[in-house]
């Protein structure tokens, strides 16, 4: 078959799609639904991978967070504080690989005043010196906490990016005074925007103060802590981090007097735990949307095949006339197969648009992180072409095998 003949057949296939536009719309709609679901799957998988990498880089591959209380069996509101300053001291003594041991205190929903502006910040945090290196969260403006801030219990604070937006808008917040739960604080820095949330809590809506200030000015416990973050050498391998985690768990169980078969009254969170959680979410997405995509794509394929069989019957006179004028069975076969491929491509393009719009809707509700890329586009188009080819071959063969005389009589 020459290239010229191929393009003539392609043009005739396009004209046939336009002429039989009703059945073409049904086929395009059926295929586009499957491709839309597939697009959301691929885009959400890519978005989840990027989000996981981003979370891992922010969390720190060589850090372990210790959260007080049993998160499995106790609700957040009823979970007791089980971590202490003694735990911090003993970890520093018995974990020689630890470069930093950083205590943390948390208090939810605090009232903040800045001039005439009022706001309820999601979280008040008490942290130690060098907040940036300790928690991997550096100020975008201003300065970090110093040892003097902690020792002298200074009334200074770092504020989250959203808190700065709400209270100060486009104004520079550095040096301004906030009143947090009736305690005046001077803003010395604005934390880098994270863009993360957990339930109703926005990570960027927080006030961070020296932990000594939080204990003395905000009347919190002098004995218990909400979290402890242990940071190890940046050269620590995943295998070494697993060993550190096991050693840390054993040390805390011993310090807290937990019997051999007793449940931990704390939770260790590592980068691997975050990655495992993301994998679980990704798996759930793939199972649910994968089933939807498979069902809709097979539905589209069967719809295409059935309508093409009907088209062969309806267009038998056209097929017979072409054969009588010298068209070969191969040319008839190629034209019908090209029609199937073109319809599949149109369905793929419509499906990509629908998938992108659906993905944007999910992203706007923070249900999924969608990341469209050339890989998503190419994969969707390739699968659509495979559907068109697989379900278009038999109708095309039937059209090509019709005898000219029978076809001219309109009998299929």
Residue-wise pLDDT for 19-37, tens only, equals 878 778 887 887 787 777 7
Helix (H) or strand (E) holding 345: helix 329-364
Band the pLDDT of 410: cuts 50, 70, 90. low
- State the pTM of this model: 0.65
- Mean pLDDT of the 279-295 span: 72
- The residue with greater pLDDT, 406 or 31, is 31
3-state helix, strand, coil in the chain (%, to 5): 55, 20, 25
Paired residues of 229 in beta bridges: 65, 102
pLDDT at 368 (0 to 100): 58
> What are the extents of the domains in the chain?
3-54+276-408, 63-232
Residues 6+ apart with CB under 8 A from 42: 375, 376, 379, 380
CA of 187: how far to CAs of 160, 208, 256, in Å? 11, 10, 38
Q: What is the DSSP string of 268-336?
A: EE-HHHHHHHHHHHHHHHHHHHHHHHHHHHHHHHHHHHHHHHHHHHHTHHHHHHHHHTT--HHHHHHHH
Give residues with Cβ within 8 angstroms of 344, minimum separation 6: 31, 304, 384, 385, 387, 388, 389, 392
* pLDDT(176) > 90: yes
pLDDT, tens digit (0-9, with 9 covering 90-100), for 340-396: 888 888 888 888 888 878 777 766 665 556 666 677 677 777 877 777 777 777 777
Nearest to 127 by CA among 212, 23, 51: 212
Contact 109, 76 (CB under 8 A): no
Across 49-76, average pLDDT: 72
The reported pLDDT for the residue numbered 1 is 63
250 in Cβ contact with 95 (< 8 Å): no
- Dihedral in degrees, nearest 10, Cα atoms 405, 408, 411, 412: 80
- Closest Cα partner for 205 from 161, 168, 170? 161
Check: CB of residue 381 under 8 Å from CB of residue 345. yes
Q: How far apart are CA 42 and CA 372, in angstroms?
A: 8
Question: What's the pLDDT band for 87 if we cut at 50, 70, 90?
Answer: very high
Three-state secondary-structure class, residue 71? coil
Unique residue bearing structure tokens 């006030």: 207
96 bridge partner residues: none
């Amino acid at each position: 078959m020459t290239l010229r003949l191929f393009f003539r057949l392609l043009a005739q296939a396009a004209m046939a799609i336009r002429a039989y536009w009703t059945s073409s719309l049904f086929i395009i709609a059926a295929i586009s639904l499957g491709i839309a679901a597939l697009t959301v799957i691929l885009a959400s998988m890519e978005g989840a991978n990027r989000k996981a990498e981003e979370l891992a880089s922010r969390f720190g591959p060589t850090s372990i967070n210790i959260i007080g209380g049993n998160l499995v069996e106790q609700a957040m509101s009823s979970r007791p504080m089980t971590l202490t300053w003694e735990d911090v001291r003993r970890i520093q003594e018995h974990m020689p690989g630890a470069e930093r041991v950083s205590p943390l205190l948390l208090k939810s929903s605090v009232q903040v005043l800045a001039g005439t502006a009022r706001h309820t910040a999601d979280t008040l945090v008490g942290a130690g010196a060098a907040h940036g290196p300790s928690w991997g969260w550096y100020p975008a403006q201003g300065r970090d906490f110093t040892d003097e801030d902690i020792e002298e219990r200074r009334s200074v604070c770092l504020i989250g990016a959203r808190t700065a937006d709400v209270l100060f808008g486009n104004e520079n917040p550095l040096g301004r005074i906030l009143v947090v739960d009736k305690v005046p604080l001077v803003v010395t820095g604005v934390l880098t925007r994270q863009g993360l949330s957990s339930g109703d809590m926005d990570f960027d809506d927080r006030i961070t103060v020296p932990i000594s200030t939080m204990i003395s000015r905000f009347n919190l416990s002098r004995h218990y802590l909400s979290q402890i973050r242990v940071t190890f050498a940046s050269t620590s391998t995943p295998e070494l981090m697993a060993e550190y985690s096991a050693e840390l768990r054993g040390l805390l169980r011993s310090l807290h007097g937990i019997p051999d078969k007793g449940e931990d009254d704390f939770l260790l969170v590592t980068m691997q735990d975050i990655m495992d959680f993301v994998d679980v979410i990704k798996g759930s997405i793939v199972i649910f949307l994968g089933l939807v995509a498979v069902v809709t794509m097979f539905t589209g394929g069967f719809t295409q095949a059935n309508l093409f069989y009907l088209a062969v019957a309806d267009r038998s006179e056209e097929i017979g006339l072409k054969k009588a004028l010298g068209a070969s069975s191969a040319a008839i076969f190629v034209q019908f197969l090209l029609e199937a491929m073109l319809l599949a491509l149109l369905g793929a393009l419509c499906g990509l648009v629908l998938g992108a719009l659906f993905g944007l809707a999910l992203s706007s509700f923070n249900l999924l992180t969608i990341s469209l890329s050339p890989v998503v586009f190419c994969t969707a188009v390739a699968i659509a072409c495979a559907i068109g080819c697989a379900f278009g071959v038999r109708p095309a063969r039937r059209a090509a095998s019709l005898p000219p005389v029978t076809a001219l009589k309109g009998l299929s």
